[in-house]
Structure 1
Amino acid sequence: MLNIPDQDARFIRETCGPEVVEELERQAVKHTWTDLYLYRPEWTAQGRSYTDAVLLAIEVAPRARQLILKVVPAGAPGREAAATAAAGTADATFTYQHLVKQLFQPVLLSDGRTLMFQEIAGKSLWNATTVGGLEEQHRARVVEQVVRGLLSQWNAKVLEQAVPEPVRVSAFLREELNDAWTGGGSLQAWARSLGILDPAPPWLYSDGMRLPNPYLMVKGGHPALPDPELRVLRGLGHGDLHLDNILVPCMEGEVRAEEYRFIDLCTFSARADLGGDVATLLLSALIPFVEHELPPDQRHALLRFIVAPHATHGASIVPRAKMLVQAVTVTAQQEMSHWRDSWDRQFLLSLMARALLFTTYTGIGEEGRGWFVRLAAHAGGEVLARTRHQGGEAWPPPLEPGRDSFTTQFSAPVTARSRPATGFVPDQEPRRRRWETDSGVRDERAVLGFGPDHTVVVVDGQGRVQRWSVEGGPLPGAEGRSDRIRVGHQALVSSLTHSVVSAWPRELEIMRFPQHAGVFRSDPVRFKGKEHFLVTSGGEVFATHDRKTLTVRSFEDGSAMEHLPCPASLATIAVSVDASVIAMACSQEVFIHRRNHRTLRKKTANSMPYFRTGVFRKLSEMLGPGCQLAVSPSGGHVGCVTFEEALVWSTEDGREVYRRKLTDREAREAAGAHGMRLLCTETGTLFFLKRGRLSCPTIDGGIQLRQSGRYVDVAIARDGRLMAMLGSEGRLEVWDL
């Protein structure tokens, strides 16, 4: 009869289930145990478990001994017992020094779980810790020892007999990613959320560099991206050698780096990529440095220091990060000096595969996952650069507008906490450039819009109108005036008729462009008394307001069609194409008027950056900071961006489909900015133009889209399929959404 104290038996039963207690009693008969205790004080594994395994430290007697009881889940982790046994027979010396032995045969439970009985690494629970639990100054020394052990000890015999294996880059990456890729799970979902998979642009842009799309390199076969053949070495590999899968003893305050031991060997392979464990070790060591947003110069320097180190890069990154990178990369190069150039290419491929795998780890944060996508792209670029034919074309090859696509800056998709509703697509992005031209307009007040019949229109600050078809053909326009239109985006292009309305200080001018003719200018719409403002959204109709009353007007002659009172302390207004939905905002409240339905009232948080704590917050709210509104063309969604948050509502039932607090950076960038424009697509995606930069507020972190130069204005076509951008240097681009 096995004696287990009641509190210990209860803990094991609640943690692991009654079947584990019953199996321990059977094992007691087999091994003649009479007593079993949980280790006291209660022991908790300091490392993280990525397989949901339960670890318990127990003491058994007679013969009195400590051991680790590990309850391994069913499924893939359940192969750990067999994998550990295989690893233990690969190299006797390394096993004795650096692996954890199984003291008794593992037991398969009826529910598919496995019980493992392991020795205690380092002989003591009290004095052993994971490398991840060490102080930073000790990690580099342990990491260096582990890399030497992997390559020159564990794989010494393997390398003596090794024959390099030829393999295509795409095939290598798919094999390394395995189920993470073929299963179509979080790896591909993350890529789609970034807009770089299905459809997938071949090139991505990072800190001024043009890099290959790593996901297309995994797929292979893209005409814009080579798929070279490399020769790689395979051998013994742990398979998941992050910092918390390595234990080291600490005796009398001294970290015994050379006495490290590997744990959790369920992914062991006898023909692993030799660079895989080294890459995993490096990337896990860098997580504390990259899981939060880095300044762009430091982020870029760290990426380049890993894939193509240069003294200038090392001077720009945190010294501790530099030390860790060198502890891995320099040590590995020393151990593989007989295979140096080929090793460097193989290690870049290993970095690509492991970096993509790390993007599936949601626990490292969205900034961290974005950094690992960047690293995969940088590593892929170096692979292609180092395998191109000598004397061939420059790297990267020249930009081709037909194949280069508008892409994002590797930032985060919407997370579960944002709770998007069905039909809400928070991260719709421009996918392919359809057409571009030099408009000749270099005017910060210029306005951009889509007309009917797939036309795109630019109105400059003096009311001059230029028109094109989206296929690139020029159309008749109109000359401007000597005076200038009002500040801001004070012109609007009709989406129903070939018409443009421009706002001057005390009048509106409507210009119509009949087919195969010039321009027809109607009599100006003059305002008496109060100052009127043009609402810069609409399409079939347009609207003006005098801060007290909003007037919906006809594009035919500017005559009034509908009046609506404005709320006190009006901040901004936006209307749908036909004005069936009109949104008006005060500083902290939005009113959504829906034709033939009740008005919706929505509260918002809004305060100025730097003044959000204590007495300053109330003062900041009392100042009534402004905000931006946008209505989707058909009126299905209303978006709002304050200085504090981004929101999207469905106008069908008033549901809030998105809400996110802005980062301090986003709030500061909007302060004092002129000519801002907020757009909302039919699916609820928001695009925000401020300080010449176009961002997507409905993606966590307020992702900024890749662009060349500054934008003066942006526009979305009525059908939601096209987007146009006008650059400050005059370049006009039309993209598919």
Structure 2
Amino acid sequence: MHIPPEDVVLLQETCGVEFVEELKRQGRDVGWTELRLRRPLWSTPGSSYTGAVLLPVLVAPPPRQLLMKVIPAGSAGREASAHAEALDAVPAFSARHLVGQPYPARDLPDGRTVMFQEVAGASLVHVTPAGSLPPQEQNQVVEKVVRGLLADWNELGLKEAVPEQLTVSRSLTRALGDVWTDGGSLQAFGRRLGVFAPSSPWLYSDGMRLPNPYLLVDGRNPALADPAVPVLHGLGHGDLHLDNILVPRREKVVQPQEYRLIDLCTFSKRADVGGDVATLLLSALLPHVNHPQELPPDQRHALLRFIVDPDASHRTDIVPGVAARVTAVRDTARDVMHGWGDPWDVQLLLSLTAVALRFTTYTKISAAGRTFCARLAAHACGEVLARTQDGGVAARPPIADRDRDSFTMAGFGQEGGRTPVFVPDQGPRGRRWRRETGVPDDRAVLGFGPAHTLVAIDSVGGIRRWTAVGDPLPGVDGRSPRQRLGHQSLVASLTHSVVVARPKELEIVRFPREGGTFRPPSVPLRNGDHFLVTSGGDVFATHDRRHLTVHRFDDGAPIEELTCPPAMAASAVSMDASVVAMARSREVHIHRRGHPPVRWSVANSIPHLRNPLLRMVTPDPGLQLAVSPRGGHVGCVTFEEVVVWSTEDEREVYRRRLTDREAREALGAKWMRLVCTETGTLFWLRRGRLSIPTTDGGTQLQQSGTYADVAVDRDGTLMATLSTEGRLEVWDL
């Protein structure tokens, strides 16, 4: 086979000396006597983003114009076989909208593959990538492509399809593939942003609270629901951006119905049917959002909401033409899939979440463009949860403060951007059940036992119990003397047991599975200076202000002892006591099992007594401490400020000064309770009123009457409240 000398030189420079000999053997096998590069070259020889070398060639006999593609070894090297599989899937569609492989691909000794494709539209001059078209022509093309994908390419498959029920996390993990699994680029990008645990499960976009999409893919955060949704599978291109769609012109007029799809290396017969539609939509929007600066907030917010939850009013804030670009993809797809309706909308939102997350890893997209993609992922998955759960994590309506924006403050889309701001407002959403205990008691204590059972202990040690759905369980009556102090009881989280602090001893009551009650020997207390630490669950702890002792819950035997700081004012432990917090008036000490202790300072002074001279003659004020169930966060409320720390990386994640009203209301409040969830949200009970202090200004929760106690389960998914009138309520968090 003859190859012109100047072409041999160019082929050797771009593909290697040995490649030319392989090419000649290929020519002999198929009967070519001549091969030459088409001049002028269609594009500068070199590598595509996959590293493939693309060269237009003329061969004979018979005389043909082909595109020669040399694919590097590795995963991209399956393009030839994937392309052949796509051509065979639906021959009628392939003849109209794919490019053929008239000659078999050839594997090279070094692992590369060379394939020969027909030229789309039979021309390298009169065919244009859809991404280069003016907006109006581009919209015409994407409408035809979306309709062709769903109504033609997948017509037979969708007629016979049975949806697969997948959890949201499983569906997203599948769609993301290798960018997520095994520490892929998306996980690496997320770690640089600091959006994985212990980050908050919530993010804000223009004042709307949204789920953290990175944690939603992970699927293990108890604060984020992971519902199962029906997902349709079928034929999928896998990388259908606008430049992978070629469109011919005839007499300078674009022919959208004659589009051709190229670069089928990611083709799959078992693809998420919404994936190509979502990729096409986002690639059509990139020219509008891929700039050095983000869109103005009103434009950005309107566009994001128009994509995931369209409202005609959004159009007034969107740049003319961009809304038409969205509807050309989204509405065309819904028109074709109208028989599937609402489930299709949810699947497309899931697909948008996955594609938008994938786009955040593309370095050719600007930081502002990647931030838009991260926002879109949060909005889309928030809408999925809103549509799949009664009372779920809805992204609407927006909260009052429209200026809250995690993405801007966190530097989303920027490598090395600082960790997203703490979003601490995991408030109760829907009430699960309500019961009347019949025993009004302002010193009653509440706690969750195993399997979400609930236990209430009154001020004389009477125990009442309920199942996870509110059915009564056996309990015991109380007896004199009363508990030593308010909240001096604790419920075990692993066994059906309760510990009650009496004046000189700790009484343990167990409820065996076979029925009845069992009371191990009491744990002696040194009267007056020995106290029960009212947190824990797998174990319990006591302190005498000199030493804090961790005890086994079955018999009260001591298993660990820590030295208390001088003048200790408060203490709290995690469920298993692996994290212990002890505090003086202005200093918090954190002990983590297997790690050196950490010490943090806090501001603390009583309102109206903050003059330096007055502080010298007034006693040091107390404070409140809480440790999250698994020990990931420690919270503190003083008379001046509220602070939350992450114990995993020893950083402060939230701090604000208390309002004067909050500080005044804490003065003299009896039996206060501070509870910390695993996400770092604090619940603060004082004077019978429950608030979330980890929001700017504090959030007072709506309630009927006053509360005696509040409890959060070990997973952080349920909260229970007990009113002073004896009303028990269980809420989803």
TM-score normalised to structure 1 length: 0.59
Q: Kindly report which structure 2 residues correspond to 1:438-449, keeping only aligned pairs within 5 A, or say none.
A: none
| Residue equivalent to 1:58 | 57
| Residue equivalent to 2:10 | 11
- Aligned partners of 1:398 and 1:252: how far apart in 2? 51
Q: Kindly report which structure 2 residues correspond to 1:331-480, keeping only aligned pairs within 5 A, or say none.
A: 331-389=332-390, 392=391, 395=394, 407-409=406-408, 412=411, 427-428=418-419, 431=422, 455=586, 475=606, 478=609
The answer to whether the aligner puts 1:232 opposite 2:231 as a matched pair is yes
Deviations along 1:449-493, one digit per CA (max 9) or x if unpaired, are xxx96739xxxxxxxxxxxx978975487456xxxxxxxxxxxxx
The answer to whether the aligner puts 1:724 opposite 2:655 as a matched pair is yes
1:370–1:410 contact (8 Å) kept in structure 2: no
| Residue equivalent to 1:184 | 183
- In structure 2, do the counterparts of structure 1 residues 114 and 433 end up closer, same or farther at CA, with 3 Å as the change threshold? same
Residue 100 of structure 1 aligns with an amino acid whose one-letter code is: V
Q: CA deviation at 1:274?
A: 0.7
- Aligned partners of 1:103 and 1:22: how far apart in 2? 21
Q: CA deviation at 1:49?
A: 3.6
Q: CA deviation at 1:48?
A: 9.6
| Residue equivalent to 2:108 | 109
The answer to whether the aligner puts 1:142 opposite 2:273 as a matched pair is no
- In structure 2, do the counterparts of structure 1 residues 454 and 350 end up closer, same or farther at CA, with 3 Å as the change threshold? farther
Residue 234 of structure 1 aligns with an amino acid whose one-letter code is: H
1:47–1:133 contact (8 Å) kept in structure 2: no
- In structure 2, do the counterparts of structure 1 residues 109 and 721 end up closer, same or farther at CA, with 3 Å as the change threshold? same
Q: CA deviation at 1:74?
A: 1.1
Q: Kindly report which structure 2 residues correspond to 1:512-527, keeping only aligned pairs within 5 A, or say none.
A: 513=616, 516=619
2:279–2:355 contact (8 Å) kept in structure 1: yes
Q: CA deviation at 1:239?
A: 0.7
Q: Kindly report which structure 2 residues correspond to 1:277-316, keeping only aligned pairs within 5 A, or say none.
A: 277-292=276-291, 293-316=294-317
| SS of 1:82 mapped into structure 2 | helix
Q: Kindly report which structure 2 residues correspond to 1:530-679, keeping only aligned pairs within 5 A, or say none.
A: none
| Residue equivalent to 2:163 | 164
The answer to whether the aligner puts 1:24 opposite 2:155 as a matched pair is no
- Aligned partners of 2:661 and 2:21: how far apart in 1? 77
1:77–1:266 contact (8 Å) kept in structure 2: yes
Residue 586 of structure 2 aligns with an amino acid whose one-letter code is: T
Q: CA deviation at 1:269?
A: 0.7
Q: CA deviation at 1:112?
A: 1.2
Q: CA deviation at 1:516?
A: 2.9
Q: CA deviation at 1:514?
A: 7.1
- In structure 2, do the counterparts of structure 1 residues 279 and 4 end up closer, same or farther at CA, with 3 Å as the change threshold? same
Q: CA deviation at 1:183?
A: 2.8
| Residue equivalent to 1:652 | none
- Aligned partners of 1:285 and 1:180: how far apart in 2? 22
1:74–1:113 contact (8 Å) kept in structure 2: yes
1:140–1:327 contact (8 Å) kept in structure 2: yes
- In structure 2, do the counterparts of structure 1 residues 107 and 726 end up closer, same or farther at CA, with 3 Å as the change threshold? same
1:131–1:142 contact (8 Å) kept in structure 2: yes
| Residue equivalent to 2:330 | 329
- In structure 2, do the counterparts of structure 1 residues 139 and 398 end up closer, same or farther at CA, with 3 Å as the change threshold? closer
| Residue equivalent to 1:700 | none
Residue 34 of structure 2 aligns with an amino acid whose one-letter code is: D
- Aligned partners of 2:321 and 2:47: how far apart in 1? 23
- Aligned partners of 1:245 and 1:122: how far apart in 2? 14
1:38–1:56 contact (8 Å) kept in structure 2: yes
Query: How many pairs does the alignment contain?
Result: 472
Deviations along 1:664-683, one digit per CA (max 9) or x if unpaired, are xxxxxxxxxxxxxxxxxxxx
Q: Kindly report which structure 2 residues correspond to 1:243-258, keeping only aligned pairs within 5 A, or say none.
A: 243-258=242-257
2:130–2:141 contact (8 Å) kept in structure 1: yes
TM-score normalised to structure 2 length: 0.59
Residue 724 of structure 1 aligns with an amino acid whose one-letter code is: R
| SS of 1:339 mapped into structure 2 | coil
Q: CA deviation at 1:344?
A: 0.5
- Aligned partners of 2:585 and 2:375: how far apart in 1? 36
Q: CA deviation at 1:360?
A: 1.0
- In structure 2, do the counterparts of structure 1 residues 478 and 356 end up closer, same or farther at CA, with 3 Å as the change threshold? same
| SS of 2:235 mapped into structure 1 | strand
Which is further off, 365-374 or 34-43?
A: 34-43
| SS of 2:341 mapped into structure 1 | helix
- Aligned partners of 1:370 and 1:216: how far apart in 2? 17
2:54–2:68 contact (8 Å) kept in structure 1: yes
- In structure 2, do the counterparts of structure 1 residues 85 and 362 end up closer, same or farther at CA, with 3 Å as the change threshold? same
1:81–1:116 contact (8 Å) kept in structure 2: yes
| SS of 1:248 mapped into structure 2 | strand
- In structure 2, do the counterparts of structure 1 residues 515 and 373 end up closer, same or farther at CA, with 3 Å as the change threshold? same
Q: CA deviation at 1:730?
A: 8.3
| Residue equivalent to 2:152 | 153
Runs of 4+ in 1 over 6 A off after TM superposition: 45-48, 397-400, 469-473, 712-717, 727-735
| SS of 1:223 mapped into structure 2 | coil
| SS of 1:364 mapped into structure 2 | coil
Q: CA deviation at 1:321?
A: 1.1
Deviations along 1:592-624, one digit per CA (max 9) or x if unpaired, are xxxxxxxxxxxxxxxxxxxxxxxxxxxxxxxxx
| Residue equivalent to 2:198 | 199
- In structure 2, do the counterparts of structure 1 residues 175 and 45 end up closer, same or farther at CA, with 3 Å as the change threshold? farther
1:47–1:132 contact (8 Å) kept in structure 2: no
Deviations along 1:76-112, one digit per CA (max 9) or x if unpaired, are 1111111111111111110100011111110111221
Deviations along 1:552-578, one digit per CA (max 9) or x if unpaired, are xxxxxxxxxxxxxxxxxxxxxxxxxxx
Q: CA deviation at 1:714?
A: 12
| Residue equivalent to 2:730 | none
Q: Which runs of 5+ in 1 are unaligned?
A: 417-424, 436-451, 457-468, 481-499, 501-509, 519-711
Residue 87 of structure 1 aligns with an amino acid whose one-letter code is: A
Residue 322 of structure 1 aligns with an amino acid whose one-letter code is: A
Q: CA deviation at 1:315?
A: 1.9
Q: CA deviation at 1:515?
A: 7.9
2:371–2:413 contact (8 Å) kept in structure 1: no
1:722–1:734 contact (8 Å) kept in structure 2: no
- Aligned partners of 1:512 and 1:726: how far apart in 2? 19
Deviations along 1:671-711, one digit per CA (max 9) or x if unpaired, are xxxxxxxxxxxxxxxxxxxxxxxxxxxxxxxxxxxxxxxxx
2:386–2:393 contact (8 Å) kept in structure 1: no
| SS of 1:250 mapped into structure 2 | strand
Deviations along 1:42-83, one digit per CA (max 9) or x if unpaired, are 111899943121110011123221101001111111111111
- Aligned partners of 2:322 and 2:251: how far apart in 1? 27
| SS of 1:338 mapped into structure 2 | coil
| SS of 1:241 mapped into structure 2 | coil
Q: CA deviation at 1:31?
A: 2.5
- In structure 2, do the counterparts of structure 1 residues 55 and 393 end up closer, same or farther at CA, with 3 Å as the change threshold? closer
Q: Which runs of 5+ in 2 are unaligned?
A: 427-582, 588-599, 622-640, 664-692, 696-733
Residue 205 of structure 1 aligns with an amino acid whose one-letter code is: Y
- Aligned partners of 2:200 and 2:662: how far apart in 1? 21
| Residue equivalent to 1:273 | 272
Residue 366 of structure 1 aligns with an amino acid whose one-letter code is: A
Residue 80 of structure 2 aligns with an amino acid whose one-letter code is: A
1:241–1:277 contact (8 Å) kept in structure 2: yes
Deviations along 1:366-395, one digit per CA (max 9) or x if unpaired, are 111111111011011111111113xx4784
- Aligned partners of 2:656 and 2:70: how far apart in 1? 58
- Aligned partners of 1:515 and 1:361: how far apart in 2? 60
Report the identity percentage: 50
- Aligned partners of 2:229 and 2:316: how far apart in 1? 32
- In structure 2, do the counterparts of structure 1 residues 36 and 188 end up closer, same or farther at CA, with 3 Å as the change threshold? same
The answer to whether the aligner puts 1:99 opposite 2:30 as a matched pair is no
- In structure 2, do the counterparts of structure 1 residues 86 and 382 end up closer, same or farther at CA, with 3 Å as the change threshold? same
| SS of 2:234 mapped into structure 1 | strand
Residue 314 of structure 1 aligns with an amino acid whose one-letter code is: R
- Aligned partners of 1:453 and 1:170: how far apart in 2? 43
- Aligned partners of 2:208 and 2:315: how far apart in 1? 19
1:78–1:114 contact (8 Å) kept in structure 2: yes
- Aligned partners of 1:393 and 1:169: how far apart in 2? 14
